[in-house]
Amino acid sequence: MSSEERNLPEVPEWPEFKIPELLSTETVRQLHATIEKEWDALRRSACQTAAGRALWKHVTHDPLAALLAGETYLRSLHEKIKKDCANNASEISGVILAVRTLWFDSKLEAALHSLHGTETQVVLLGAGMDARAYRLDCLKESDVYEVDLPEVVQMKTTLLQAAMESPNEHQHLKIMAKSLTRVSADIKGNDWLEKLETSGYVPEKNTVWILEGLLYYLTHSQAMQVLRIIADKCTMTNTFLLADFMNKPSTTLSNSIFYFYSDWPDNLLPSLGFSRVNLSQIGDPDAHFGLLHNPSNLFNKLRSLPRSIHTNPDGTPCCRLYLVQASGSPNQTLEPAELRLNIST
Ligand SMILES: C[S@@+](CC[C@H](N)C(=O)[O-])C[C@H]1O[C@@H](n2cnc3c(N)ncnc32)[C@H](O)[C@@H]1O
């Protein structure tokens, strides 16, 4: 019986996925073997998110993601996706990453559009294996800074250099951004901002800060310090923050390596100095991108429950990922009506 006959939504056929040839070259194999042998879960998370973008390449259009992810993570996610498709799952593995990527892309483009005609900087904290500087045309007038731990920055640079030597990959390695600078720094420390400035970042220039998949790896005090540093820039220049926040239940699952959470980032950020804050949940009109085909998907269920609830009706933890955009500038004052946005439930 077809899914139409059973009255179920069609699960789209998964596009064929082939491991790129470049991943089987000796240099690249060895680099990924080092990642698997020597990196901890925190650093490896950079490759896992890249694997998500690679498997969802038909929507993320990230041609470098597979190279940066490595074969092991690609194969493991691909297996899960195949099972989900075979089982007609209500969500396909990796869909959160795909939606999150597209949400950050679209909000980044909108922020840069609103700053059009000015000199802008884009700072990606915990950039991992992100390749936006190579794939987003909207960055052509922006200086991009990617900040991550030294091993991650070094490995990414070396993997991209290896790709440079391959005639097939060469075309994807054109930097779209006005400039791209990688900065090795530990955001938990006190000197990352200084390192960023030494690398060319100018505090007075309009800046979009991207904290994608980062905050929850930090402790509460470390995350708050990073957010305060960024919020303080609102008194100096046009400042945009794009960040995802886990709610408390998401950080309390067993074996979790997550610490920082906020159930109400839309209250937290104004208290730090941002004047405009908007919060989206996966599945909201601006965080859907036509990727959540099954009407009974998990995200629709979550969105129908009040945000204050920490346990689902079936007793499982009510885990949410909030996608938050915030901004501020020296000329803006807090707008109380806007601060109340989305916090009524
Ligand atoms: C889940 S990955 C996300 C990477 C990238 N933003 C993306 O969405 O693909 C988290 C990244 O944050 C980086 N990170 C975590 N803690 C960090 C710290 N204290 N300093 C610098 N980078 C950090 C990790 O090395 C990793 O690359």
- Does residue 249 surpass a pLDDT of 90? yes
Determine, yes or no, domain membership for 230.
yes
User: Percent of the chain scored above 70 by pLDDT?
Assistant: 93
271 and 158 belong to one structural domain: yes
Q: Tell me, using a 6 A CB cutoff, whether residue 130 lines ligand 1.
A: yes
- What's the pLDDT band for 170 if we cut at 50, 70, 90? confident
129 and 207 in a single domain? The answer is yes
Measured in degrees and rounded to the nearest 5, phi and psi for residue 290 equal 65, 20
Q: CA nearest 95: which of 122, 55, 150, 127? A: 55
Residue 259 reports pLDDT greater than 80 = yes
Is 161 inside a domain boundary?
yes
What is the total residue count of the chain? 345
- Residue 30 domain flag: yes
Residue 12: the pLDDT is 58
| 301 CB within 6 A, ligand 1 | no
State the pLDDT confidence band at 236, using cuts at 50, 70 and 90: very high
Q: What is the CATH number of the domain that holds 311?
A: 3.40.50.150
Same domain, 154 and 276: yes
Closest ligand 1 atom to the C-alpha of 128? 27
Ligand 1: which of 35, 42, 192 to mutate, judged by most atoms within 8 Å of the beta carbon?
Answer: 42
Whether residues 106 and 66 fall in one domain: no
pLDDT at residue 17, rounded to an integer? 81
> Which residues constitute the domain of residue 310?
95-328
47 C-alpha to ligand 1 centroid (Å): 10
Contact 91 CB / ligand 1 (< 6 Å): no
- Residue 9 falls inside a structural domain: no
**321: which strand partners?**
246
- Phi and psi dihedrals of 214, rounded to 5? -120, -50
Kindly calculate the radius of gyration of the chain based on its CA atoms and give it in whole angstroms.
20
Any bridge partners for residue 206, and if so which?
Answer: 120
Is the beta carbon of 178 within 6 A of some atom in ligand 1? no
Tell me what the pLDDT averaged over the chain comes to: 91
Residues 26 and 124 in one domain: no
Q: Please give the pLDDT value at position 125.
A: 98
Q: What is the total count of domains within the chain?
A: 2
Degrees to nearest 5, angle at CA 36 with 33 and 38:
100
Ligand 1 neighbourhood includes 94 CB (under 6 angstroms): no
**Could you tell me which residue, 48 or 335, shows the higher pLDDT?**
48
Give the per-residue pLDDT at 339: 41
pLDDT tens track for 99-135: 999 999 999 999 999 998 788 999 999 999 999 999 9
212 in ligand 1 pocket by Cβ < 6 Å? Answer: yes
Q: What does the pLDDT read at residue 341?
A: 41
Q: How far is the CA of 295 from the centre of ligand 1 (A)?
A: 32
Tens-digit pLDDT profile for residues 29-46: 999 999 999 999 999 999
pLDDT of 338 reads 43
Structure-token pair, residue 38: 């020597």
pTM (two decimals): 0.93
Q: What is the pLDDT of residue 7?
A: 45
137 or 3, higher pLDDT: 137
Using most ligand atoms within 8 A of CB, pick from 108, 148, 209 the residue to mutate for ligand 1.
148
pLDDT at 168 over 80: no
Cβ–ligand 1 contact at 232 (below 6 Å): no
Tokens in use for 128? 């991992």
Q: How confident is the model at residue 216 (pLDDT cuts 50, 70, 90)?
A: very high
| pLDDT mean over 72-100 | 95
